[in-house]
Amino acid sequence: MKLGIGLGFSGPTMDFRFDMVERAERLGFASVWVSETYGSDALTPLAFIGARTKHIKLGTSVAQLAARTPANLAMSAQTIDAMAGEGRMIVGLGMSGPQVVEGWYGRPWGKPNYMIRDYVAIMKKIWKREHPLTHAGRQISLPFTGEGGLGVGKPLKSILHGNPDIPVYLGTSSELNIAMTAEIADGWLLMHFAPGDLDHHRPVLERGLARRTDGMTFERFVKHAVLQVVIAKDVKEAIGKAKAGIALYVGGMGSPAMNFHKDAMVRRGYADAAARIQELWLAGYKEEAADAVPDEFVDSQQLVGPPARILERWPAWRDSGLTSLHITRASPEVVELLGRHVL
């Protein structure tokens, strides 16, 4: 299984450890991943990293679909790929939630399944340059002929002859969209994963793979997860510190009726805890919401504790059926530990 590191997104200042990425490349890490929410973007740091490194793969985890038109993301990805050395760019793409899509980007939530299908199809057409770009989709059509247009749009080809095979991984969570991911994408980005989960998802992925015509198999299809690794002497204390972030996502990242992170917790068998976390969070009791996150839930989806405990529990992740994963918000100490003992 290939291993990468994730930088996440910036806080109030741009505090990415770019020197750590260079060290990770020397240790044999295969990829580096940058995300975005409503602050720093995912693409600019990757261009900077690409200039300072030689071969580590450059991934977005995830680029938010509403932030750009498909043509814009396709252009940005092939530009970075061409500048950094062809074959390094990976486009991880996701919808985010309706609160961010409509509140930050000012875009309608629409029909995510149709939107993602159109978006991916358009990007792949741009990269392949087989014909001038046209697309008659359910959510996106090119050239544009809708209200406010002049009706003079012209099908065009990318001037840049970039990499036609830039891989697209989708960050999806509903059964409908996971099946679609296996049908149209090159890989799947799993945000909430613990060893053993892949058996649950396999039938859905197989259903999507059965619709393909390129011979893609379950074994070859990329399954890429996110893992947090925290070196700490006190396991219980480290688990406690991780609960606030989980409570934020389960309780506050989405509306009461639509929260993908809460749904993932329910699917893992923690329905009562998920409901209580959301109830407390929405009522303004954020500390109490964090306290309601079960210790075993945190411990099952992270590697926490002294180095010996982390390495002892690592084989469960190594043998989980994943193709690859990246360590989110990795510290230099974690990079050294895994680089020396796992890679």
pLDDT average per 10 residues of sequence, the chain (343 residues): 94 92 98 96 98 98 97 98 97 92 94 97 98 97 94 97 98 94 98 91 97 97 97 95 92 79 89 96 95 96 96 97 96 97 96
* Residues 222, 256 share a domain: no
What pLDDT score was predicted for residue 331?
93
pLDDT at 237: 95
Stated pTM of the model: 0.93
> Which pLDDT score, from 0 to 100, does residue 1 have?
92
Handedness of CA 279, 281, 287, 289 (dihedral sign): positive
Domain co-membership, 22 together with 74: yes
Q: Looking at residue 261, what is its pLDDT?
A: 86
Could you tell me if 238 and 227 lie in one domain?
no
Residues 55 and 179 in one domain: yes
Same domain for 241 and 176: no
Question: How far out from the chain centre does Cα 169 lie?
Answer: 8
The answer on 6 and 80 residing in a single domain is: yes
- Rounded to the nearest 5 percent, the helix, strand and coil shares of the chain are 45, 15, 40
| Token pair belonging to 197 | 């989960």
> Longest C-alpha distance within the chain, in Å?
65
Predicted pLDDT at 203: 97
Q: Are residues 178 and 323 in the same domain?
A: yes
Whether residues 129 and 257 fall in one domain: no
Question: Residue 223 is part of which domain span?
Answer: 2-231+306-341
> What is the number of structural domains in the chain?
2
Nearest by Cα to 331 from 294, 312, 297, 304:
304
Residue type, 30: A
Rounded to whole angstroms, the Cα distance separating 51 from 68 reads 23
Q: What angle do CA 20, 307, 304 make, to 5 degrees?
A: 85
Residues 211 and 274 in one domain: no
Residues 289 and 273 in one domain: yes
Q: Is 151 helix (H, G, I), strand (E, B) or coil?
A: coil
DSSP for residue 66: G
Predicted pLDDT at 63: 98
Q: Nearest Cα to 61, choosing from 283, 216, 225?
A: 225
Q: What pLDDT does 312 receive?
A: 97
